Amino acid sequence: MDGFGNYPDDKPFDPFSVMLFKALQVVAFLFFIALLVINPEAKQGKIDSKAEFIITLGWPDSHPDDIDLYTEDPLGNIVWYHEREAGFMVLDRDDRGGLNNSITVAGRKISSPIRQETVSIRRIVAGEYTVNVNYYLATTTAPVPVSVKIEKVNPTVEVIFYDTIMLDHMGQEKTAARFRISENGDVLDVNHRDKSLIQLTRSVRRNTGGAK
């Protein structure tokens, strides 16, 4: 031991090593704190979304045909491919089948097989919503199965409707669902009563020529 009895003679005190060890401890502690901030404890079923409801239309991967989603809110606003924002509803994507599902990267064309359209409802408006599908363009002759899903996403994800509908000819329109919600966003009723939304948008189609 040295004269003070603190360290053995063969291991002299090294202030630099002690400082380095303490610095490493501080860095490790700060890294742990950062992880807690970046990745807080997950809450089951919680999502961070500005939407109240999300409506999703899908049809078979890589299918060349064009299926459209129409949605009407309780105030008579309708979102469709010529009116992609109406009221508090937004048509996030107009999927045109095989026509707009590819991008060019470094001179190479890359295609996406996914066929999907999505409408988000950004704020609660009490009353009845109508969700329709339309077989806009057919290049095939076989019936096309289309799925429609309606999700309530705030404060937790809840599927309030899901169904598969068969479309068998171009121009066909079907009501997938009509659902009524209260002022606080509770779903009060879901039904399948037919209602044409294309009839309500014909004036817009005439003014714009009806083409996408």
The pLDDT score that the predictor gives to residue 49 is 54
The pLDDT score that the predictor gives to residue 195 is 97
Architecture of domain 53-208: Sandwich (2.60)
Amino acid at 192: H
The pLDDT score that the predictor gives to residue 28 is 66
pLDDT < 70: residue spans in the chain: 1-18, 20-49, 98, 100-104, 203-211
How far is CA 124 from its chain centroid?
Answer: 17
The pLDDT score that the predictor gives to residue 108 is 78
Pair of tokens at residue 108? 């190479």
The pLDDT score that the predictor gives to residue 39 is 47
Each domain of the chain, given as residue ranges in start order, spans 1-41, 53-208
What pTM did the predictor assign? 0.72
CB 66 within 8 A of CB 139: no
How far is CA 73 from its chain centroid?
Answer: 19
CB 130 within 8 A of CB 176: no
* DSSP state letter for 183: T
Question: What element of type H or E holds 158?
Answer: strand 158-167
CB 178 within 8 A of CB 59: no
